[in-house]
Amino acid sequence: MSMAYLGTAMKVDVVVVGGGPAGMMAAITAAECGAAVCLLEPNERLGKKLNITGKGRCNLTNSCDAEQFLQSVPRNGKFLYSAYYQFDSSAVMAFFTELGVPLKTERGNRVFPVSDRAFDVSGALEKRLRRLDVRLVRDRAETLVLQDGRLAGVKGSQAEYAAGQVVIATGGVSYPLTGSTGDGYRLAQLVGHTIVEPRGSLVPLCTKGNLCAQMQGLSLRNVSLRVFEGNRRVYTDFGEMLFTHFGVSGPVVLSASAHMRQFGKKPYRVEIDLKPALDEQSLDKRLVSDFTKYQNSDLINGLGDLLPKKMIAPFVSLTGINPHQKIHDLTKGQRRSILTVMKSLPLEIEGPRPVDEAIVTSGGVSVKEVNPSTMESKLLDGLYFAGEVLDVDAYTGGFNLQIAWSTGRLAGLSAAGHAKG
């Protein structure tokens, strides 16, 4: 995408800072309301992070009801009530269908483009921006311009952009290679906003010990994962996970990490059910069957029909049984130990990976200082926030992009309303 460089001042009604999903939605909405809009984006193309979401497929929303949506936003979900009701998932789906992006709904109400191409989503948004004559400028916002205590625009690296309404939609600090550098936090702080310390959400997890490192590269499908905060179970999920040199990753782990919000204050552990389709009685029958088949083998050589080869040695170490014990010598108690580890393989969680490895950022501009009915700053008239820069984040499944669309829509409506009013 070619975006213009400008060396001179530009005057518009609304400046949107950030060309991600929230920023593009805010710019489109303000322009649809008749405002003259300028969109600033330092990257060479719009929607850089959007284009890699959902493994490049773009899970753009979740076709659930309002109650389920708000339950899927563990941090400050109530703040989004007004934004979501004004532009909910069905409205988002209608919006993209109208832009020429046919959609499909998959397991868990996850909505994707039929093409499975995230670029179709960003391309449709960019096409709409151009049709609405939104000025797309490749520039980085350096500071907000104030005149007599009132917002007067944005100063960029290349030029100054005069406007009475500014929408900050710069994202968080996860995936910094896509341009998420925390610029919005800095701009917000310049006018007195509180920044809740950013940390990773939907992030891989580091585990204690070297058990996971021994299984590095092993991917498990169709496992059940349970999260415990102390002795209290706080989350259960089913799906795919991956062992790494530092711990665990993969879809179920990323989802689970969003439920671990007290790192440093409370201990966390996960238990993996390697055979969720079998209850304990059925699994015990299967063990008896396999152990009859391999009765003259060492234990370490008798689990190949039940476990991936790379997992067997670490698994046996967790049972406390000598790996070279003959299977025909196993006691009922030892068989019980094998069953227990198979149904609840324990991993002590040390903490999350760094925020720059996270899919989304938890933390950001404090929602106490933002009007939930307009997305306008309570500290400076004419300043709005949208998307991940706000201290809201959700679970996987299209909910985080829905936050971007809803808050972007509301910020754009509000900014245009003030500009034209």
Q: What is the pLDDT of residues 240-274, one digit of tens each?
A: 999 999 999 998 999 899 889 888 899 999 999 99
Query: 198 versus 327: which is more confidently predicted?
Result: 327
Q: How far is CA 165 from the centre of its chain?
A: 28
Backbone angles phi, psi at 212, to 5 degrees: -65, -40
Euclidean distance between CA atoms 147 and 369, whole angstroms: 21
Structural contact between residues 155 and 131, judged by C-beta atoms closer than 8 angstroms:
no
- What is d(CA 219, CA 239) in angstroms, rounded to the nearest whole number? 11
Count CB atoms within 10 A of the CB of residue 117. 16
Q: With contact defined as beta carbons under 8 Å apart, do 273 and 343 qualify?
A: yes
| Dist CA 340 CA 284 (whole Å) | 10
pTM assigned to the model:
0.86
Strand extents, DSSP E, 53-138: 61-62, 103-106, 110-113, 135-137
CA distances for 371 relative to 63, 86, 404, angstroms: 26, 15, 16
Residues 339-380 have pLDDT tens digits of 999 999 999 999 999 888 888 888 999 999 999 999 999 999
State yes or no: pLDDT of 93 exceeds 50. yes
d(CA 421, CA 411): 15
What digits encode the pLDDT tens for the residues 168-216? Answer: 999 987 656 555 678 999 999 999 999 999 888 889 999 999 999 999 9
Q: Where are the domains of the chain?
A: 10-200+357-420, 204-352
Alpha-carbon distance of 374 to 242, in angstroms, equals 41
In sequence order, which residues have a C-beta less than 8 Å from that of residue 172 and are 6 or more positions away? Answer: 180, 182, 198, 355, 360, 361, 363, 364, 388, 389
Please give the Cα distance from 399 to 6 (Å, whole number): 36
Crossing angle of helices 309-319/332-343, nearest 10°?
120
Note the pLDDT of residue 405.
98
Top-confidence residue, 9 or 402:
402
* Counts of helices then strands in the chain (DSSP H, E): 12, 20
CATH number listed for the domain at residues 10-200+357-420: 3.50.50.60
N-to-C CA span, the chain: 33
Q: What is the mean pLDDT of residues 125-132?
A: 98
In the prediction, which pLDDT does 1 show? 42
Q: With pLDDT > 90 as the criterion, what percentage of the chain qualifies?
A: 84
How many residues are given for the chain? Answer: 421
**Model pLDDT, residue 3:** 47
Structural element, H or E, at residue 317: helix 309-319
Phi, psi of 363 (to 5 degrees): 105, 180
Where helices occur in 99-250 by DSSP H, the ranges are 118-131, 183-190, 211-214
Q: Which residue carries 């910020």 as its tokens?
A: 411
CATH fold, domain 204-352, is Helicase, Ruva Protein; domain 3 (1.10.8)
Question: What was the pLDDT predicted at 400?
Answer: 94
Helix-helix angle 280-293:332-343, to 10 degrees: 120
Tell me if 207 sits within 8 A of 200, measured CB to CB.
no
| Residue of 417, 385, 408, 355 whose CA lies nearest to 193 | 385
